[in-house]
């Protein structure tokens, strides 16, 4: 059997991995190719949003703001 156009990998409790074989997409009907390319763009936009949020979190920590604020250590003497 030949190489698949789309592969989905998943193990319980783990992430999903979806692989598209771009060189094989030409085998899909035109309408399906359009959906795949639009989905690809949406995934990239979602990743951009996640990266933007991660950058905001890092910047907030640098400024000492928000939930990501580092807490100092407290030494407790035990007798």
**First vs last C-alpha separation in the chain:** 72
**pLDDT confidence tier of residue 67, bands split at 50, 70 and 90:** low
Per-residue pLDDT reduced to its tens digit, 3-40:
677 788 888 888 888 887 767 777 778 898 888 889 88
Residues 6+ apart with CB under 8 A from 61: 68, 69, 70
DSSP code, position 26: G
**pLDDT confidence tier of residue 1, bands split at 50, 70 and 90:** very low
Q: For the chain, what is the mean pLDDT?
A: 81
* Reported pTM: 0.50
**Cross-strand pairs, 19:** 7
């Amino acid at each position: 059997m030949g190489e698949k156009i789309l592969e989905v990998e998943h193990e319980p409790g783990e992430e999903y991995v979806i692989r598209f074989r771009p060189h094989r997409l030409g085998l899909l009907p035109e309408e399906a190719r359009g959906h795949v390319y639009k989905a690809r763009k949406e995934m990239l936009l979602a990743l951009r949003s996640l990266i933007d949020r991660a950058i905001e979190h890092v910047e907030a920590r640098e400024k000492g703001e928000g939930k990501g604020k580092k807490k100092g250590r407290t030494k407790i003497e035990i007798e």
